[in-house]
Amino acid sequence: MGHTEERTFVAIKPDAVIRGLTSVILKRFEDKGYKIIGLKMLMVTPEQAAKHYAEHYGKPFYDRLIRYITSGPIVAMVLQGYGVINGARQLMGATDPAEAQVGTIRADFAQLKEYNVVHGSDCVESAEREIAIYFKPEELCIDWKNMTELVTEKEDLK
Known catalytic residues?
Answer: 119
Report the C-alpha gap between 46 and 106 in whole angstroms.
25
Of 8, 13, 122, 120, residue with least CA distance to 65: 13
Is beta strand 5-12 parallel, antiparallel or unpaired with respect to 118-120?
Answer: antiparallel
Q: What does residue 85 show for φ and ψ, rounded to 5 degrees?
A: -65, -55
Phi-psi region of 83 (alpha: psi -120 to 50; beta: other; left: phi over 0): left
Say which amino acid occupies 40.
Answer: K
Asked if 21 contacts 101 with a C-beta cutoff of 8 angstroms, the reply is no
